[in-house]
Amino acid sequence: MDLMTKVVSLCKRRGFVFQSSEIYGGLKSFYDYGPLGVDLKKNIAKLWWDDMVDNRENVVGLDSSIIMHPRVWQSSGHVSNFSDPLVDCLNCKARFRGDKQPSLAPGSTVTWRSKASGDNNVLKTGQVGDHGYVCPECGCPHLSQPRDFSGLFKTFLGAVDPLSCINPSTPPSQAAIDHLLSQTVYLRPETAQAMFIQFLNVQKSMGLKVPFGIAQHGKSFRNEIVVEHFIFRSCEFEQMEMEFFCEPGTEKEWLSYWSENRLSWYQKYGNHRDNFRLRAHDSSELAHYSDACYDIEYQYPWGWDELEGVASRGDYDLHAHSQGSKAKLSYFDPKKTDPATGKVGWRYMPKVIEPAAGLTRAFLCFLLDAYSESRGVTSTGEEKNRFFLNLHPLLAPYKAAILPLSKDDGLMTLAHSLGKEWRKSGLKLTVDGYQSIGKRYAKHDEIGTPYAVTVDHQSLVDHHVTVRNRNTTHQVRVPFKQAQLMITESLERR
C-alpha cells in the first residue's frame, strides 16, 4: 500500500476522518472529522492561533459571519472572476477546466482512441478547435462549448423557496429572475475578505497602529470542479488566514518575514524539515493585484504541492472595498511625513501581506509526515513491523493513555483516579481498559499517543506505573508524580 492509502485507511479505522453521509452512499468531497480528528484539528488551530495572535502584540482575532453582504463578493472580484470555463469531452466524458490544460494551436491535427461502442479503441484523427483545447484524459479535440462554472456556493435569503416560482410550462419572467438575484447570497469562498471590510472597526476599537494584523480561522466553501487527494482539495474546508497591514514601502521586508516565519512553524511541528519548502511564484502565476507571492509547499505522496500561500496583495482589497462601499478604508499616521506633500501627518492605504493557511491541508500534511514504520518486538516476543504516528506531542489527540493491566482488582479504579488527577493539569488523556495490552499499545502507537502508562497490581502497593515511549517503545517504571511530570514536560520541551 502506498503512504496515502495507508493514511486514508488509518483515518477511518481510528476515527480521524469519515466520509460524510456514508450510510446514504456518501457525499463526494465532503468529510466528517471523527473524535480524534476533532482533537488534531483543534490542536493545529490552537498552535496557529498561539503563534499568530496570542504570542504577538500587534495581531488580533476576528470571527466573522460566513454569509456576508453579496456586494462584498462583487467588490472583491469573486462574483465576476470566480468562474472557470468548464469543458466536457464528447469522447470519454471527462470534465475539465479548459484554461488549466496546455492548449494546442487551433487547426492542428491530433489523434486519439475512440470510446464509442461501435468503434471502441479505434485510432481517430481530427483537428483542434478554436479554443485550442484537447481532452487531458484521451486527447480528443471534440469537446462541448466551454461553459462558465461558478466556484461560489449560492443560497437565497428570504422566506419564499426560490424553486417554488419555477413553472415548467412557462419560463420565469425577468421580474422573477431579478427578484431571485436580489436575494442571492454566497457562502464565503475565503475568510480573508471579512478582515478587509472590518478593517476600520478593528483598527479603531482596538487603537491599533500600523503595522498590525487581523487573523481568522474558520470554514470556507468552494464549488470545486476537481476534488482530489482526500481532504487536500474539498468543497468545504477550513482556513487560517491573517491580513497584515503595513506601511507602503515595507511590504517586501514583511513578505520575507512572514514567509520564513510560516515555513519554520511547519518545520517545528513536522518531523522532516526537508519535506517543506518555500517557492516563489513566477510572474505568470501571480494574481493581477499581487506583486509577489510565496507558496509553502509540502512533498506529498504525489509530489510537491501547496500547503500555504503567503502573498503580497498590495492595497488591492482595501481599495476595492473603499470604492465598492464608499467607506474610507485608510490609515492616518499623525507623526509620519507624507511623501507626496512633505507635511507631517500621512493618510495612506496600508499594503497587505497575507499568510493564508489551510487547516485541513495542514491536518493531512502532519498525518503524512508523522506516519512511521520500524521493526519492533510484540509483547509476546515476536518480531514484526510496527507502525506509529510520530506526531508532535502538542498535536497528538491524547497526550497519554492510562492502561490498567486488568479490569478487576481495583486497577480500573486506580487508572481512573490517576486520569482525574492528571486532567487537572490540562492534560488530554484517555483511560483505556479494552483489549489485550499488546493491542492497546499498537492502537495508541497508531493514533500517535506519546506515552502509554500501564497500571499493574504492583502499582496498588508501590504507587509506581510503567511509562512506555511511543517512538522508542522503551519502558521505565516511575512513581505516579514522575510519570505525570514526564508527560507535561514533553509538551514544554519541544
Q: Which residues bind Zn ion (CB under 5 A)?
A: 89, 91-92, 94, 135, 137-138, 140
Query: 228 phi and psi, to 5 degrees?
Result: -155, 160
CA gyration radius, the chain: 28
CB of 180 to Zn ion, least distance (A): 35
User: Whole-number minimum distance, CB 134 to Zn ion, in Å?
Assistant: 8
Nearer to Zn ion, 38 or 94 (CB): 94
Nearest to 490 by CA among 388, 389, 392: 392
- The contacts of residue 237 (CB under 8 Å, 6+ apart) are 219, 220, 221, 222, 231, 358, 359, 360, 361
Using the minimum distance from each CB to Zn ion, give the nearer residue, 89 or 246. Answer: 89
Please tell me the distance from the alpha carbon of residue 177 to that of residue 80, in angstroms, as a whole number. 18
Least CB distance to Zn ion at residue 95 (A): 10
Neighbours of 392 (CB within 10 A): 20
Q: Which strand (E) or helix (H) includes residue 17?
A: strand 17-19
Query: Exposed, middle or buried, 170 (CB in 10 Å: 0-12/13-18/19+)?
Result: exposed
Nearer to Zn ion, 86 or 447 (CB): 86
- Helical packing angle, 251-269 and 35-49, nearest 10°: 140
Residues listed for the chain? 494
CB 352 within 8 A of CB 313: yes
Closer to Zn ion at the Cβ: 92 or 110?
92
| Alpha-carbon gap, residue 8 to 12, rounded angstroms | 7
Q: Where is 262: in which H helix or E strand?
A: helix 251-269
Find, among 339, 343, 351, 282, the residue nearest to 315 by Cα: 351
CA distances (Å), origin 219, targets 87, 307, 466:
29, 16, 42
SS3 at position 144: coil
**Least distance between Zn ion and beta carbon 269 (Å):** 42
Burial of 358 (0-12, 13-18, 19+ CB in 10 A): buried
Sequence letter at residue 216: Q
d(CA 174, CA 113): 45
Instruction: Please identify, using beta-carbon distances, which residue of 61 and 139 lies nearer to Zn ion.
Output: 139
Backbone torsions φ then ψ of 260, nearest 5 degrees? -65, -40
Instruction: Give the integer Cα–Cα distance in Å for 216 and 59.
Output: 10
Q: Is the dihedral of CA 26, 29, 32, 34 positive or negative?
A: positive
